[in-house]
Structure 1
Amino acid sequence: MKKLTLILIIITCIASCTTNSDQKKYDLAIENVSLFDSKTKNVSKNKTILINADTIAAVIDASQHSNAITIIEGNGKLVVPGFIDTHIHLHQMLDLTTGIAPEFIDRSYRKKLTEKLLSYGTTTAVDLGISEKWMEETLQWQKKTSPDYPNLYIAGGAMISDLEWNRYVPEHHTVVFNPEDGVKKVQKYARMGVQHIKLYSKLETPEMTAIINEASKSNIQPYAHVDNNIVNIPEAMELGVRDFEHFFTVLPSVLNLKDHREALLKKYNLQRPNHIDDFSATRSFYFQYIKENPELHQRLIELFKKMAEKKVTISTTIHVLGAAAEKTDFFSSFNHFPLREAPELPDYTPANKAKLKEAFSTMMQYLKIAHEMGVTIRIGTDNSEAGQAILSEFLLFHEAGFSIEDILQIATWNGAKAMHIDHLYGTIEKGKKADLVLFDKNPFTNVKNFLAKKTVIKEGKVFMPQNSIQDTVLNLIEKEGISAGVSFLDDNQSNTPEAYEMVEIAYHLFHMGKVDEGKAIVDLIKKDFPKFAPIYHENAINSIGYSLLYAEKFDEAIEIFKLNVEVFPDAANTYDSLGEGYMKNGNKELAIQNYQKSIELNPENQNGIEMLKKLNQKH
């Protein structure tokens, strides 16, 4: 009997050991979580997510035993797929001033995406309009994903036609001169590995048609921003477009903005728009204008019906308009510059601002109507603070009556489907990439919990955010002076700054009119990064000077213009600008001297000649 008992014990031990050795060991287990299904919008409790490398290997009941190298105890917390922003622009994040970014970038600049996106839970983004000079580098980022950075998809330059009246072409736009040129551009992008393209509002029908047809052959998905009364949404739908950018671009499909502009301004007692924040505010007012006109209201409803029938998607960009209406917890806009912490609407009375808030709420009501009618809404922030703006948009959605389930679906599944990347992202299921957001506090119980602490999992690795080196140094300079900032940059070992981050610090100081402090940072860049060039950009510095000049910060503007003269002594325009600065500040003697120098360097400077005549007449 004893012998039989011993044999049974041995067999049991062998079976147990075999079971343990056969049980698969995973790299990461996130145990006992409430899992949001972004397809069905249901929440399943008591789940465990098993991850190998960068991929979800299984989702099991929390009661089942699992074997993992690393375990995160979820304690019933909510986990959702990583957020997807379908409309960002890297240039907005890297601009030195409005519309002027570094000419070329390298892999060090990828860190900016982590700072602006991943820290807030945005694990995937699409750049719908990037400088072609940046494409070779950023397409490498697209191909080689990493736990340290958000996934980035590149659409190349936003395509526009060769329009006689369009004198200024930003770096992130690309001109196609005719339909044949458009076809060649798509073919080139396809060879490079581009999967998405942007059709901009300055693209005419012949070029748009050719590009859409060629994109279809190359399995490239077109996304259209159409609000210039050249091609509208119904016309683009007839050409085959199913994905549109910015909810406010529905407006020109309902009314001609130019034809109704004066009536709108008069109706709401507004001045002519002359600032980027005026643009955002006016877009909200147009929705109020439509609401108060039954015929226009009906046109908009009919448009939503057509969009739903065609299974159209449209991105949001509601934070920017909400920020202009002071309906958000923080301010950011299409343009980061001039530096400001609130919308710049100098002509707005308290009554105008109150009406603007109402108009923005009206726009959000229309967004909810479109959503309820079957138009697919997806996140597209389109501003430099994209990650923070996504969370802001969640709150705006909720205030407008969207459910938490709908908000999370909009931020995950809808974006993945629209960008044709749903085989990789957008849901939590076996085979998908392990890009996840684990909330410390549940947004289903309080919408403000969207802003609370969260754990971001990128490709199966826990993301560890770092404080912005730029913010740290600028705060230090503000409190303790430039020497403290320089010492910090010189001695910091834990978070070594990239060269471009130090350039951003210098230019931020220039925007504040702090020339000596900015120059001190530039000197440090030259010492630590001797091969980094150029640091000074004539047009960027000139633009900063004029921004200060328009704000009537004359002394600061003059110091910036003097810096440009110092750095670019052979450039006629630098003296012309300095002359204007002195003239606006009432110093005619120095204004004349600098205009004269400008004309010496460029005898054909008609502006300088005219200004000199006026000054000499008054002198």
Structure 2
Amino acid sequence: MKTFISIILFCFFISSCGQYKYDLAIKDIQIFDSETTKVLENKTVLINADTIAAIIDSKSSFRAKKTIEGNNRLLTPGFIDTHVHTVGNYGAQATSPENYKEDNGLEMLRDLQAEHYLNHGVTTIIDMGQPEPWIDVTLDWQKNPTPNHPNIFICGGSMVSDEDRRQPEHHIEVMNPENGREKVREYASRGLKYMKLYSKLKKADYEAMADEAKKQGIIINSHVDNNRVTISEGIDYGVKNFEHFFTLTPSILNYDEHWPKMNAMYDIKMNSSIDEFAAQMVYFFGYIESNKEYENRLMTLLDKMAAEGATFSSALNVVASAAGQSDFFTSFEYFPIRDAPMVNYNSKQQKQLDLAYEAFMKYIKIAHDKGVKLRVGTDCRFGGRAFLSELILFNKAGFSVGETLQIATLNGYEAMDLDSNRGRIEVGQTADLILFDKNPFSTIDNVLSEKIIIKDGLVFKPTKSIGHELRTILLDDGIEQSKAWLSKAKSDNTYPKIKVSALKNTVRELFAGGKTKEAIAAYEIFKNGFPEKSYEIDGVTITNSSYEMIRNGDTDDLKTYYNFCKSNFPEANIYLGLSVYMEILEGGIAAGQNHFNSYVKDDKYILDENEINGLGYLYLQSGKAEEAIAVFEMNVTPFPGSWNVYDSLGEAYLAVGDKERAKLNYKKSLELNPESSSGIAALKKL
């Protein structure tokens, strides 16, 4: 009798253990086939751990620990954004990841990735250029993915050739071809799979690095837009992946010759903002469309790209935003914070821009039809939301929904050589999936609908953050409403305890974004909540934000911002040119000159030739020639060996009709740099 009972208990134990064969089932769904762009009906996907274990008909039985009722909804692979910047876009300080270790600040930045990408269905991101001090941190994220964050793959810094100017923190200079090869080998030894060759690389450096990358098994992603290396030459060097569709133009037209012609055609000036630059990239496609010879060159290049298996990332929402064609504004540069492009076109120019945008999208469709593989690369702050807008823009341009979803998924994974376990819904693939509430095949706008996101086989649940959400409340609802919201959020059990790191990041973003009143309010919230904690802001942030206010004519905000920063962050070395501007603003040119002479050798201020020269041009372009001349003359004193300071001074004198002084300065410029094209051209005119 005991034996019989034991057998029964044993059988019951075996039955119980075998009750659940799968961890997760997504039942009764439509599956998007990213290979064929077709939809498979009446399916159930079964998942074990982080992997798709089986795909069966909806009517077939199964045993799973958890089941999601699909109700005939669409399931797609997780999206991939092949061009993001995860450091600067979140207000992070470029050179100091150490500053984020307090209060688990590095995890806070990773949570921002989840908020901005994974929350919208982007399960994989490729970081296309970051400051090198961050490589160890982000490489650790790459090696240790989690279900709560998007997969990240990095390429290190953006490679540029040695130049006699200050580089952005994420641009890494190589001195010569052999030094470039050494950099490729260094990255390979550190475990990087990708590298980015940027537009400022000289041809010899580019060729050497592309060649070494092939030897080291590194995939090159290339941004070429300044006539040093063309896309065609990049392909000849073995490069397949190119950044931004708009970079086609300098590969068929020399910018030195055609940029002035394009500007003349549309009666526009050289760009003074990043948004005007993006708009002018759109204008260029209207310029190409107007000339059959240029269009034929474009078709020849697209044919070569298709034949060689080359791919293009999009940056579509950024250029569409600059042209006023997107429902969601983004820009290549998030700062200053804004929701509309910084452009100033009249109605005629805007109509021309609309037509140029149509040409731009027409050529994207032609490229696709010829066989050029397109992939999404948003290259902007709110990449996940921008990603969804790009899908809508592709569809509006004539791409089918299936083609659009293929661009969002398989094309990107294939280009990045990640398609062995991602990009398809197949047995053996990683279970990174999107289940849409509303079907995009009914209308593409449904990509914006609610969705269940499955990452590594688990349902993703966004984490709330008081510090992060405060930024949005301040900008959207104002200071007083944000204080009331904050008080309520602190007592709301759905929010975790406020993180110092998240609040500090919000303060940093608002200061860097030129939102003076909101930044000061956030800073006061931070100091009241954490009086024992310190907060620092660097001179670069103060300077960049101030100049944006100057360009926008926000002098009242500028004074408040500048004085607040000087009082609260005395350790931040202010750039000397900016301080000169503030003195001129208050007391005129003489006050600015006295200030410059008093502090030109003082370590309290940062002396930078390019910054002061930029200030001079800021005056010159706004019609304040006397101030421009004064500033350019100041720049001669500490930099008498620079040809460029004399060239700029000559231009300013010419602007006021003083031809003799203009000649003297252009001649001095040419003595220092006989190859200066601007100096030669100016003296010929004179």
User: What is the TM-score when the length of structure 2 is the normalising length?
Assistant: 0.81
The answer to which structure, 1 or 2, has the higher relative contact order (CA under 8 A, 6+ apart) is: 1
Matches within 5 A, 1:99-110: 101=94, 103-104=96-97, 105=100, 106-110=106-110
Equivalent of residue 398 in structure 2, options 363, 382, 401: 401
Query: For the residues of structure 1 that align with 2:168 and 2:576, how far apart are their CA atoms?
Result: 25
Q: Secondary structure at the match of 2:516?
A: coil
Query: For the residues of structure 2 that align with 1:253 and 1:612, how far apart are their CA atoms?
Result: 35
Matches within 5 A, 1:254-403: 254-346=252-344, 348-403=345-400
Q: Quick check: 1:62 aligned with 2:58?
A: yes
Matched letter for residue 457 of structure 2: G
Distance change >3 Å, CA 561–CA 71, structure 1 → 2: same
1:72 is displaced (CA, Å) by: 0.2
8 Å contact kept, 1:509–1:517: no
Matches within 5 A, 1:475-554: 475=473, 478=478, 480=480, 483-484=483-484, 487=487, 494-510=495-511, 511-514=514-517, 516-524=520-528, 526-527=530-531, 530=533, 535-554=536-555
Query: For the residues of structure 2 that align with 1:163 and 1:527, how far apart are their CA atoms?
Result: 44
Q: Which residue of 2 aligns with 1:457?
A: 454
1:311 is displaced (CA, Å) by: 0.8
Q: Which residue of 2 aligns with 1:179?
A: 177
Q: Which residue of 2 aligns with 1:8?
A: none
Q: Quick check: 1:417 aligned with 2:414?
A: yes
Matched letter for residue 182 of structure 1: G
1:498 is displaced (CA, Å) by: 3.8
Q: Which residue of 2 aligns with 1:77?
A: 73
8 Å contact kept, 2:95–2:169: no
Residues 365-401 of structure 1, C-alpha deviation per residue, up to 9 Å, x if partnerless? 0000010001011111111111011101111101100
1:487 is displaced (CA, Å) by: 4.2
1:571 is displaced (CA, Å) by: 6.7
Equivalent of residue 441 in structure 1, options 409, 432, 438: 438
Query: For the residues of structure 1 that align with 2:504 and 2:16, how far apart are their CA atoms?
Result: 55
Q: Secondary structure at the match of 2:81?
A: strand
Matches within 5 A, 1:129-278: 129-164=129-164, 167-278=165-276
Matched letter for residue 48 of structure 1: T
Residues 245-290 of structure 1, C-alpha deviation per residue, up to 9 Å, x if partnerless? 1111111111112211121111112122111111000001111111
8 Å contact kept, 2:20–2:65: no
Residues 285-337 of structure 1, C-alpha deviation per residue, up to 9 Å, x if partnerless? 11111111000001101111111110111111111000011111111100011
Distance change >3 Å, CA 491–CA 527, structure 1 → 2: farther
Query: For the residues of structure 2 that align with 1:175 and 1:574, how far apart are their CA atoms?
Result: 24
Q: Which runs of 5+ in 1 are unaligned?
A: 1-10, 615-619
1:339 is displaced (CA, Å) by: 1.7
Matched letter for residue 51 of structure 1: I
Residues 394-450 of structure 1, C-alpha deviation per residue, up to 9 Å, x if partnerless? 111011000000001011000110000111210011111110000000010111111
User: What is the TM-score when the length of structure 1 is the normalising length?
Assistant: 0.89
Q: Aligned Cα RMSD in Å? A: 3.1
8 Å contact kept, 1:548–1:554: yes
Equivalent of residue 26 in structure 2, options 21, 24, 30: 30
Q: Which residue of 1 aligns with 2:659?
A: none
Matched letter for residue 28 of structure 2: N
1:578 is displaced (CA, Å) by: 4.3
Distance change >3 Å, CA 594–CA 295, structure 1 → 2: same
Matched letter for residue 61 of structure 2: H
Q: Number of residues paired by the alignment?
A: 595
Matched letter for residue 541 of structure 1: I
Q: Quick check: 1:112 aligned with 2:112?
A: yes
8 Å contact kept, 1:596–1:612: no
Residues 81-129 of structure 1, C-alpha deviation per residue, up to 9 Å, x if partnerless? 0000111111342236xxx646325333211110110011000010011
Matched letter for residue 110 of structure 1: R
Residues 134-177 of structure 1, C-alpha deviation per residue, up to 9 Å, x if partnerless? 0001001000110000000000011111134xx13111111111
Query: For the residues of structure 2 that align with 1:366 and 1:563, how far apart are their CA atoms?
Result: 49
Q: Secondary structure at the match of 1:90?
A: coil
Distance change >3 Å, CA 237–CA 548, structure 1 → 2: same
Q: Secondary structure at the match of 1:601?
A: coil
Query: For the residues of structure 2 that align with 1:76 and 1:612, how far apart are their CA atoms?
Result: 68
1:541 is displaced (CA, Å) by: 1.7
1:500 is displaced (CA, Å) by: 3.8
Matched letter for residue 429 of structure 1: E
1:574 is displaced (CA, Å) by: 5.8
Matched letter for residue 95 of structure 1: G
Q: Quick check: 1:125 aligned with 2:121?
A: no
The 10-residue stretch of structure 1 (32-41 or 21-30) with the greater mean CA deviation from structure 2: 21-30
